[in-house]
Amino acid sequence: MSLTFSRMFPLGEKAPDFSLLEPLSGKTVSLNDVASNENGTVVMFICNHCPYVKHIKTTLAAFAKEFQAKGFSFVAISSNDADAFPADGPDAMKTDAEELGYTFPYLFDETQRVAKAYMAACTPDFYVFNTDLKCVYRGRFDESNHKNGVASTGKDLRVVLETIAKGEDLNAEQHPSAGCNIKWKPGVSPF
């Protein structure tokens, strides 16, 4: 495990399209299927085995449910090499989504093309797109992690979504996320 920071996808950039398997339903889900026309869309790169994700995932499940009720859509993507990390593969993803009660699609990026398109570097990594699917936030959920003893609340992302819901301008200061590096397949150049 190597501590890695987000690469900070450019603000104003359009969300890269995707169409990925959702292990829980067995269906293919696209960006258009999950995009919100009401307040915006949160795209999250997570996985099952990362201690940084494990630290927040219960809070994240409740957080997503709360903000889905406020007009935001959520989608999670796992892009790790499932051959090298079977705990991040489709079967384990399905189990995790069921156990945590995820109310959002948890998709498998087997080719890792989507992670590359989003410049995803770590898990967890968060992106918020407005109703035009332009990036307005990229970075961390909050300042907590499994090592610092700070409880996970989703404070940073909460401020962003509440600000958007009120129709106000976002603060320009955005903090990169930090976590485990995405586990790239042998021979795959991440960037």
What φ, ψ does residue 154 adopt, rounded to 5°?
75, 25
Asked if 171 and 11 touch (Cβ cutoff 8 Å), the reply is no
User: What confidence tens digit (pLDDT) does each residue in 63-77 have?
Assistant: 999 999 999 999 999
What φ, ψ does residue 75 adopt, rounded to 5°?
-145, 135
- Give the CA dihedral 51, 1, 80, 120, nearest 10 degrees: 90
Q: How confident is the prediction for the chain on average, in pLDDT? A: 91
* Overall pTM surpassing 0.85 (yes/no): yes
User: What confidence tens digit (pLDDT) does each residue in 120-157 have?
Assistant: 998 999 999 999 999 999 999 998 888 878 888 889 99
C-alpha to C-alpha distance for 85 and 122, rounded to whole angstroms:
15
Max CA-CA distance within the chain?
45
Task: List the domains of the chain with CATH numbers.
Answer: 3-181 (3.40.30.10)
Residue 40 to residues 1, 81, 92, 122, 141, Cα–Cα distance (Å): 32, 29, 28, 22, 16
